[in-house]
Structure 1
Amino acid sequence: MRHRHILLFSLGLMVLPLPAMAQDAEEISPPRAGLNQDAVPGVMQKAVDDFIRPGYRDLAEGTEALAEAAHMLCEKPSDETLGDVQMSFDEVVQQWSTIEIVRVGPVVDGNRFERFLFFPDRKSTGLKQVQRILAAKDETATSAETLKGKSVAAQGLGALEYVLYGTDAEVLSSEKNGFRCRYGAAITDNLKSVAAELHADWEKPDGIQAAWKKPGPDNPVYRDGKEVATELLGILVHGVEGIRDQRLRPFYAGIIKGEPDKGHPKMAIYWRSGNTMPAISANFTALQTLFNASDMQALLPKEDQSVVSAVNYVLQAIVDDADQIDLPIDEAIADDEQRGRLNRILQNTNDVLQRLNLDFGAAIGLGAGFSFADGD
């Protein structure tokens, strides 16, 4: 299979005095059309109805199935029921990795995002808390009601992964109603609860979905189409930044001083369960799906439509490379071919960030000095 290699271009702009004729030409040139305001309501409706709401619905259904499988494991431990839980865990990781790019709205209330997934855990604070709970057999961690009062690091996907795949996880297939299993089941109940809350919030016709679909002076969140379109583009820009800085760079930074990074595989998300690259692929696939399902192309003036194909091309190249990295992450870093794919992913991540943040942003009139990275 031929690998597509996207080069990262940077554009340096110099501001020079214009000759008189050039100035006259610039004065009579029509201004850039900017954001297509008429398209905003339709784009936002599609973003909500075709991506966000289905994403949270799938997550709610997936966590319900995961919780059911976890309780069944506790009641009837076996290799088969443990396998069922692990398979459901993989599915929830995919569902969460799809919708986690939407880090606005109800998910930021009440630490819901962190309660679902605490990552990165740079100082292994969360890991130590989970290990302490398991060592002490803290019964307050075996109920979702009391578990949610503990650290967010002890109640989400990271904690559950350690329960299912960490040291001594083999007891899960043989110990009926053992502490480790009951703790894991409580985590799944917590995940189910958070997912159900998020799903319910996005289903309220007069709630957050109305704020997205109907920007205007009476809207308490978005006063006009430009504000809500900027929010949507911000999801994509911050999503790419987050994947690069919190999912990729912690375990592999690319080429450093001409040499490939030796890597830190245990800093990778979901490394114990082998879900590192499937989750990252789901992240980028979600970005591409949101970009296209919401028809963000409609926001652009005709002369800037090429931005859409460029963004899609680079995102698809990233997904293709991510899907081809099929070794455990420590082995992938040590393998020349797969390390090359990681290098391309990092390079293309920077490329698509430029295209979204600068090219798309400028095309809808955010201004030459605008940068999501600056928080403007």
Structure 2
Amino acid sequence: MIKQWMGAAVLALAWTMPGMAVAQTAAESASGLGARLAQGYIAPAMQQFHEAAGQMGKALQSACGDPAAGSDEVAAAFEHLVAAWSGIEFLRFGPLVQANRFESIYFWPDPRGVTTRQVQGLLAKPAGEIPDAQGLAKHSVALQGLPALEYVLYRDKGLLSGKQGDDQAAACAYALAVAGNLERVGGELYALWKADGEFARLFSQPGPDNPLYRNAQEVAAEVVKALSTGLQFQVDVKLAPSLGADAGKAAPRKAPFWRSDLAPVSLRAAAQGMLAFYDAGGYSFPGAEWIDQNVRGELQRAVDQLEGMRGGTEQLWRDEESHRGLVLVRLLLNNAKNLVDQDVAPALGVRIGFNALDGD
């Protein structure tokens, strides 16, 4: 398992600003960084995702037993699960990328509609032939995660559409399998990141005998890369393709979670998560306090802008005023990425290398 993590841990290191004072400041900021982040943000966020998936399963069990009574609870549970996922999706290193966990949770974007086709094919089978959570883990990742669950809940005649389809029993069985699979993966993530978890130990205790992180600077490099890539994902993958040049050219169905109208929730939770992750780092930039203030400021402004957005994805993306607000969010997040790349990274003594989005 350790060997599979090693590729994500390698980042080029460089002292990009001269002088002993800069080197000392970078070393002090990097010291203990892994432990602060693992227990101050990552482990609790992984636990929240694991528990949200469990609550999703419970809500589905109730709703499938009595469809008239549980639809609101299922919708609320799905929103909570989407928010919990969005708060960890930027941690694209270590456990989240090992064993295809990221794709198993979130096979998206999916421009060829692989998830839709595969779910439709599975639901054409009798309920008794739908795999359970354990069996689903052996199927395509496109069938295993949140986009598939959103489709079975919110498609035409989906479980939350208020319309009864011919395959309701199969849909319930499948939705329960997806929720169970997500709970399983979430449990694995939390087990690896909790205080006595295998990866938490490696991340928190860099050293010459550590197969992944030989020193605190390599941990700092991983952290900067995660933030930078996470911000790029929001800007270039979640927002740019769906916003288009203006409101008239917007493509809201390219936005994340458009069927459930949870695109703003996903974006807001991601920005909140990255801000909390940054906060947990406890960075110190003597003589350059503006770096810290500006990173926090841009992320908080993005969160605040998204907080006020309510309504359907189609409406928000095509309305001129709300479209301008989303463009502002894109600019704020892009500004935060530039600050991370151009200011935070040099202050920590690292430089950005290749990331998970290169070549996409």
Q: For this structure pair, what is the TM-score category when the shorter chain's length is used for normalisation?
A: 0.7 to 0.9
1:262 maps to 249
Alignment deviations for residues 335-376 of structure 1 (CA, whole Å, 9 cap, x no partner) = 121111111112222211110011111222236xx555698x
1:61 maps to 51
Contact 1:106 1:198 in 2 (8 A): yes
Aligned-partner residue type, residue 276 of structure 2? T
1:269: Cα distance to partner? 1.1
Residue 210 (structure 1) aligned to one of 193, 198, 201: 201
Contact 2:53 2:81 in 1 (8 A): yes
TM (normalized to structure 1)? Answer: 0.83
- Say yes or no: does 1:180 pair with 2:171: yes
CA gap of 1:320–1:159, structure 2 versus 1, over 3 A, is: same
Aligned-partner residue type, residue 116 of structure 2? L
SS of structure 1 residue aligned to 2:269? helix
CA gap of 1:314–1:69, structure 2 versus 1, over 3 A, is: same
Cα-Cα RMSD = 2.3
**Identical counterparts, % of pairs:** 28
CA gap of 1:209–1:261, structure 2 versus 1, over 3 A, is: farther
1:318 maps to 302
- Say yes or no: does 1:199 pair with 2:190: yes
1:12 maps to none
Distance across 1 between alignment mates of 2:140 and 2:127: 13
Distance across 1 between alignment mates of 2:59 and 2:291: 45
CA gap of 1:155–1:306, structure 2 versus 1, over 3 A, is: same
Contact 1:98 1:283 in 2 (8 A): yes
Distance across 1 between alignment mates of 2:185 and 2:77: 17
Distance across 2 between alignment mates of 1:146 and 1:218: 38
1:208-357 alignment runs, 5 A limit: 208-253=199-244, 255=245, 262-295=249-282, 297-298=283-284, 300=285, 302-357=286-341
For structure 2, which runs of at least 5 residues remain unmatched after alignment? 1-17
Distance across 2 between alignment mates of 1:170 and 1:188: 14
Structure 1 outlier segments of 4+, above 6 Å: 171-177
Contact 2:49 2:81 in 1 (8 A): yes
Distance across 1 between alignment mates of 2:169 and 2:237: 34
Aligned-partner residue type, residue 313 of structure 2? I
1:110 maps to 99
Distance across 2 between alignment mates of 1:240 and 1:150: 31
SS of structure 2 residue aligned to 1:33? helix
Q: How many pairs align?
A: 337
2:35 maps to 45
Distance across 2 between alignment mates of 1:332 and 1:292: 30
SS of structure 2 residue aligned to 1:303? coil
Distance across 1 between alignment mates of 2:251 and 2:168: 36
1:186: Cα distance to partner? 0.9
CA gap of 1:350–1:206, structure 2 versus 1, over 3 A, is: closer
1:145: Cα distance to partner? 2.0
Residue 75 (structure 1) aligned to one of 36, 41, 65: 65
Residue 142 (structure 2) aligned to one of 121, 141, 153: 153
Distance across 2 between alignment mates of 1:179 and 1:365: 54
Distance across 2 between alignment mates of 1:343 and 1:128: 32
2:4 maps to none
Contact 2:43 2:190 in 1 (8 A): yes
